[in-house]
A and B are shown apart, each in its own frame.
Chain A
């Protein structure tokens, strides 16, 4: 290796770092995989850059330069369903979507409820196009009966615990999980769904489910779950993270709890902010079957309001790959879930930023520093000395979502055929370009 002064310089971009409260035109200097400095244009800086080779320079004129995006809710399907996604393919999808850090859920086969499985996933992720942080199980086998060996999981590197896909139904068990996890300062991430109230539900219970004759899953199933957990969180002093929040009542409950100082955080998915249950009857597209289900227009707007006022801390894709064979069937037979890593940024720009709900700085905060802080991840900022995970965004680039262009192994997206604005230009992981258009 030569002793170059910088490995890479991203010049002339508009740099946005919500952690630093930074938003201006500047050049980003990278050295040894870390951020060396961010400097505005000046004569000495231009002088500095003249000494660089062309391949050391990325021209980001007209582009946004932001910390690599962080998605705290992703399903990678490995081990178990490598036909749908692998750690490697999921990370390529992440990179293509501008995400440099993703957190994978433990509902694989086998479950990620022990050190070996955590290690297996980490091993698979070693040379992948994104950093993979593992979320371990709350309970053994996600069965809700006994706590998983949470200390072991954390020791191996798990950054949080979740039984995602299942709700920890036993309130006593949830109480203990919050208490126990408090020792490691990790959040308990909860899939908030009273599964007795939602049993058999195919879509949101509303006039739409009534009209279509599809069994409904009521929004109160989520609200009951969220309210119970807030009470337990208040009592235990643990950290509760509400996954994929979707209802007006649940958002209101979190807003109130935060006012009282309860240590609760929440995430929302792009699909719950962009789509509502009225989409389903149009053509019974099974890619619109998700859990929690797409809610009403009122809920959709309430989730956006919660995101805007800070009740909801971050945006997470809940990237849930499913094979075409499994999705190409009767609506009520299809497994719930849609992929999201590669469309999140475009959806947020097209539906939230362009419609005036969020500024770029807010949007970046919800996709970088906020999720990183919830999980104590050493990423999400461009502060000098941190790893050089950087996403360069072409904010006005228009594109059409196409099934055959996904890097994910699955293409279960309801957005296929939609026009979006904003696309990733380059994704840089630890100073190396891992994706470019």
Chain B
């Protein structure tokens, strides 16, 4: 049924160029739907999607929910505060219960890497990974790539710099796999304590000096820094972090003219990025949010959608 080579979207590692292209192209079509007065197509009519969010993430959850509704799916959202998880029910039991209610697709966010994979063992539903711990967050990377593609008309040959907490970022991993598959070059920059062990084996350029990393960059993707890392002893202070790795106007002066600023949100303004840069002319941060809708619609459609009731075209 899936128009992709897999029934699930568990991560971008191993996802083929063909599949990524299919998603990006389809997202383009849905991007148009979002500009219509009536932003709704019947593609997923009769399909039930469960949004299983074990970890709070308002923006990703809302983005998925809207994408599902705009495809006419029946949706139900489930988060641990209202669930039996607190009563000690296991993940497997939870899913088997939901499965027994005859669902078709599951969008899952969880703090443990591998949970989306775990779910495929107990469910016939199509599973979409909406972030598993520090492992992957494929739709975020796809929307990042879609945003870059919209701006440059290509991904091949671009230099993308990812800045910040590489060790704990799921955005990072999915971006690396996706961008490299699509022919972009990827650089990673952050404090040595936030660069995961043997990170160079991803095949990226690694920097601990921001100015060197920014040299020749087309896309600057600033990742969120979590302030609790400071308390874990991974950097001495927020002030020092900002001084060494904060993205500001001065630092960007050396870049070529046609550069792009991205951030997956939520932003710590003044910490990893200054407000003038985040809100400036080169920033596509809000486009990322809109494109996220289109990309998620594309993924849902390609995994399960039907064309016979009107479809997208």
Contact = CB atoms under 8 A, between A and B. Distances in A.
A330 B110 contact: yes
B112 A210 contact: no
B31 interface: no
B7 to A, nearest CB: 16
Interface stretch (A142-150, A201-209, A403-411, A418-426): A201-209
10 contacts: A209-B197, A211-B13, A212-B114, A213-B134, A214-B133, A214-B134, A214-B135, A216-B197, A331-B112, A331-B114
A293 to B, nearest CB: 13
Interface of A: 205-207, 209-214, 216, 218, 283-284, 325, 328-333
Contacts of B201: 207, 210
A212 B197 contact: no
Contacts of B168: 213
Interface in B157-194: 167-168, 170, 173
Contact of B90 (A214, A329, A332): A329
A348 to B, nearest CB: 30
B198 interface: yes
A211 B170 CA distance: 10
Contact of A332 (B92, B133, B196): B133
A283 B117 contact: yes
Nearest to B176: A211
Given A213-B134, A330-B91, A284 B196 contact: no
A205 B197 contact: yes
Q: Which of B13, B110, B114, B196 has the most CB of A within 10 A?
A: B114
A330 B117 CA distance: 10
Contact of B114 (A205, A206, A209, A284): A284
Nearest to B116: A284
Given A206-B197, A216-B196, A329-B91, 19 more contacts: A207-B198, A210-B167, A210-B201, A210-B202, A211-B13, A211-B173, A212-B113, A213-B168, A213-B173, A214-B134, A284-B114, A284-B117, A325-B90, A330-B112, A330-B114, A330-B115, A331-B113, A332-B133, A333-B112
Contacts of B136: 213
Q: Which of B13, B136, B167, B197 has the most CB of A within 10 A?
A: B197
Contact of A212 (B110, B135, B198, B199): B135
Nearest 6 interchain pairs by C-beta:
A284-B114, A213-B134, A330-B112, A213-B135, A210-B196, A207-B198
B152 interface: no
Contacts of B114: 212, 214, 284, 330-331
A291 to B, nearest CB: 17
B118 interface: yes
Contacts of B115: 330
Contacts of B117: 283-284
A284 to B, nearest CB: 3
Contact of B92 (A212, A214, A284, A329): A329
A207 B112 contact: no
Nearest to A333: B112
Contacts of A332: 112-113, 133
A210 B135 CA distance: 8
Contacts of B133: 213-214, 332
Q: Which of A205, A206, A284 has the most CB of B within 10 A?
A: A284
A51 B112 CA distance: 67
Contacts of B90: 325, 328-329
A209 B118 contact: no
A214 B113 contact: yes
Contacts of B173: 211, 213
B197 A207 contact: yes
Contacts of B196: 209-210, 216
A193 to B, nearest CB: 17
A331 B196 CA distance: 19
Contacts of A212: 113-114, 135
A69 B301 CA distance: 59
Q: Which of A209, A212, A328, A333 has the most CB of B within 10 A?
A: A212
A405 to B, nearest CB: 22
A212 B112 CA distance: 10
A284 B197 contact: no
Contacts of B167: 210
Contacts of A207: 197-199, 201
Nearest to B115: A330
B117 to A, nearest CB: 5
Q: Which of A206, A207, A210, A284 has the most CB of B within 10 A?
A: A210
Interface in B98-119: 110, 112-115, 117-118
Nearest to B118: A284
Contacts of B197: 205-207, 209-210, 216, 218
Contacts of A325: 90
A218 B112 CA distance: 20
A209 B168 CA distance: 11
A336 to B, nearest CB: 15
Contacts of A330: 91, 110, 112, 114-115, 118
A218 B115 CA distance: 24
Given A207-B201, A284-B114, A330-B110, A213 B92 contact: no
Interface string B129-171: 0001111100000000000000000000000000000011010
A329 B199 CA distance: 28
B24 to A, nearest CB: 24
A325 B13 CA distance: 30
A271 B168 CA distance: 29
Nearest to B137: A213
Nearest to A283: B117
